Structure 1
Amino acid sequence: MEDFGAVSDDHVILAWLQAEIESPPFQAYLMGDPPKPSHLAHALALARNPDLGNAAHNAERRRIIASAHGFGRGALIFAGLEDDISWRRARVSVAEVADMLYSNRNATWTTLAPATRTVAEGASNAARVFTGDDMNLHILSLARIICHAEPAPELSPILCLRTPGGGISLLEGHTRATAMVLEGHKLPLGVEAFVGESPSIRSWAYL
């Protein structure tokens, strides 16, 4: 792992929003019910034309990710975590991604990797163990894109947490991480990641 130094919550939240913003289900969530396309348009602008020096924009992005995923609230995927995570930007090898753990208590990922919860196990099962949803298709479709793109596509950073035992568990980017491992030969320089640390990770509901 090559450590590029500390980053703020704002950098991590922006990366999370950029990773999800093109997803149709997430876009539908942003529009709300009844749909308000202006809400989606605003979020798209926040993701595609970011200004990390704009406090209001940072607050808006934080509101979106906090509402959708519990960032800073100790809820949803952040259940059990305090709002005290320190983040570092890093470049990790595909082998290091393969050793990462899927977050626990998620049926899709524990189905793909029931023995070890590692991304390596999930990647080896992606084409032959049905997850019960459409995740196999998403993984294999992204892997195909990585395989056939010249050069390899720019992929959003994966977001993860350093566990008390010294390992790393995924927080966001399970699908990307699995596809990366499947087509690791296309990513010889590794991939970007944000790695969080906090004493409260011991109490994380998905550890």
Structure 2
Amino acid sequence: MRIIGASSDDEMVATFLLGELSSERFGADLARVLAELGQSATLLTEANLADADENDVRRQVLGDFRGYRQDRELFTGFPDGVSWRWVALSPAELLDVRYIDYGYWTALTDGTRLPTDAARFIRSGGLVFGRMSTGHFLALADALRRGVTWQPIICVRAGGQQPIVVLEGHARLTAMALAADCLPDEVQVLLGTAVGMSEWSCY
């Protein structure tokens, strides 16, 4: 792992929301929350991190959207005081990142939560829970091979040599595992560290 530089909670929130904006699964819900708060997508696509009021609104959006700072949904048990920084991971380090501890992702990996095991399952034509297709991951991997670029994924860890777990960007991480031969020498990731991360419900 190579340290690139410091980041912040404000940048994490902005990066998270921008990453979800184009998500097939979450994009519509995010658009609804923005509309309910009287905001447009430019709050995310043209984020000004130097504007404290903007940052407060984005934090409210992420709270209403996924439970951030509300101790619910994805962020149940998520600690305060997380130290954020940009890092560069080698392909091997990236593919050692774990998915969150959540039923879909444990089923996709037979309990290991590793993207390499997800890739094997997907290539075999496996169905999650015996009914859910994984073909959309193959389409994302094909897009990556064609040179499509995405928002960086966001990861967290409980310090030291504890595992790194993806917070936002599961589908993108899966596509990178499927197209691992196309990965560059380093992949930029936003990484948050806090000892209390081990209490996060999805860690």
- For the aligned pair, the TM-score class normalised by the smaller chain equals 0.7 to 0.9
Amino acid at match of 1:71: Y
Cα distance 1:193–1:53, how it changes in 2: closer, same or farther (>3 A)? same
Amino acid at match of 2:120: S
Map 1:31-180 onto structure 2 (within 5 A): 31-32=31-32, 38=35, 42-104=39-101, 106-127=102-123, 128-132=125-129, 136-147=134-145, 149=146, 152-163=147-158, 165-180=161-176
Cα distance 1:19–1:62, how it changes in 2: closer, same or farther (>3 A)? same
Percent identical pairs in the alignment equals 30
SS in 1 for 2:192: strand
Counterpart CA distance in 2 for 1:13 and 1:161 is 13
Amino acid at match of 2:88: R
Contact 1:74 1:83 in 2 (8 A): no
Counterpart CA distance in 1 for 2:186 and 2:49 is 26
RMSD, aligned CA? 2.3
Amino acid at match of 2:42: A
Contact 2:6 2:85 in 1 (8 A): yes
Q: How many residues align?
A: 200
Cα distance 1:65–1:134, how it changes in 2: closer, same or farther (>3 A)? farther
Counterpart CA distance in 1 for 2:34 and 2:63 is 20
* 1:178 Cα deviation after fit: 0.9
Cα distance 1:100–1:24, how it changes in 2: closer, same or farther (>3 A)? closer
Contact 2:2 2:88 in 1 (8 A): yes
Cα distance 1:38–1:66, how it changes in 2: closer, same or farther (>3 A)? closer
TM score, norm. by length of structure 1? 0.86
Counterpart CA distance in 2 for 1:66 and 1:37 is 11
Where in structure 2 are there 5+ consecutive unaligned residues?
A: none
Amino acid at match of 2:44: A
Cα distance 1:46–1:107, how it changes in 2: closer, same or farther (>3 A)? same
Where in structure 1 are there 5+ consecutive unaligned residues?
A: none
* 1:69 Cα deviation after fit: 1.7
* 1:189 Cα deviation after fit: 3.0
Counterpart CA distance in 2 for 1:69 and 1:37 is 13
TM score, norm. by length of structure 2? 0.87
Counterpart CA distance in 1 for 2:10 and 2:177 is 28
